[in-house]
Amino acid sequence: MIESLVLIEGNNVKKETLSISLANAKHLVIGAVPPVSGWILHVAATTSDDLGKALLKFAQVPGVTGVLTLTLRT
């Protein structure tokens, strides 16, 4: 298991648009980064490859301009 805190950047990205299906990873929206410039998520994945795929999926969400890994824990 690998876990990460992730910053999803983007203006006016809605929490609902981050409710995407991830194959072997689960995520939880922790909170917004004011003033509406992004979200912090906790992502847990089975492997580092699964985490990488999850981050790529978030990068493809409409309005997302950046995906930054804040921490990683195995």
pLDDT at residue 59 in the model: 96
Q: Residue 40 pLDDT more than 80?
A: yes
pLDDT at residue 36 in the model: 63
pLDDT at residue 42 in the model: 97
Ramachandran area for residue 17 (φ above 0: left; ψ -120 to 50: alpha; else beta): alpha
- Mean residue pLDDT of the chain comes to 93
Q: Which residues of 24-48 are buried (b: 16+ CB within 10 A; e: fewer)?
A: ebebeeeeeeeeeebbbbebbbeee
Q: What is the pLDDT of residues 45-73, one digit of tens each?
A: 999 999 999 999 999 999 999 999 999 99
State which H helix or E strand residue 54 sits in.
helix 48-59
Task: Please state the pTM of the whole predicted model.
Answer: 0.89
Query: CA angle, corner 62, sides to 28 and 7, nearest 5?
Result: 40
Q: Give how far Cα 21 sits from Cα of 31, 55, 58, Å.
A: 19, 12, 10
Structural domains of the chain ordered from first start: 2-73 (3.30.70.260)
